[in-house]
Structure 1
Amino acid sequence: MNLIVNGEEKNFNENSTLQEIISILKIEDKVMAAAVNMEIVKKDEWNSFVLNENDKLELLQFVGGG
């Protein structure tokens, strides 16, 4: 299945959950928020949220600054 992840097209297995995608990308410790097709997905839903072909996924991390 093709997904757009932070503006880049990537291919993943069908019926992958949001948590599985984050794990495959090896960014579990960095992602603080996720949006699919411009809709925020709560972190407690990541394990059950199944992505669909051509979904647009934005994985966000917070950066501190001064």
Structure 2
Amino acid sequence: MKLLLNGERVVLPDNIVFVSDVLKHYDVHNKVVVVEVNGNILTKLEHQSTRLSDKDKIEIVHFVGGG
């Protein structure tokens, strides 16, 4: 699947179907994240039910602590 992820074109394996799969693939599934797909911000519950398609635009923002 070809996606635009945080402004970069990426090709992901065929087993990635849902937003939650992308988060697991990039190992951010256990972090607090905000996900936007094609301009729509998703709730955490929607990560598991939002199916992706070729050329979708995804933005993933996660928070980093520090001082």
Structure 2-normalised TM-score? 0.81
Aligned-residue CA RMSD in angstroms?
A: 2.0
Distance in 1 of aligned mates of 2:38 and 2:6: 11
Give the aligned length: 66
Q: Write out the 4+ residue segments of structure 1 that deviate beyond 2 Å after TM superposition.
A: 62-66
Unaligned runs of 5+ residues in structure 1 are none
Gaps of 5+ in 2: none
Aligned-residue sequence identity (percent) comes to 33
Structure 1, residues 4-52: CA drift from partner, whole Å, max 9, x if none?
Answer: 1101111122661000011011122334210001110111111111011
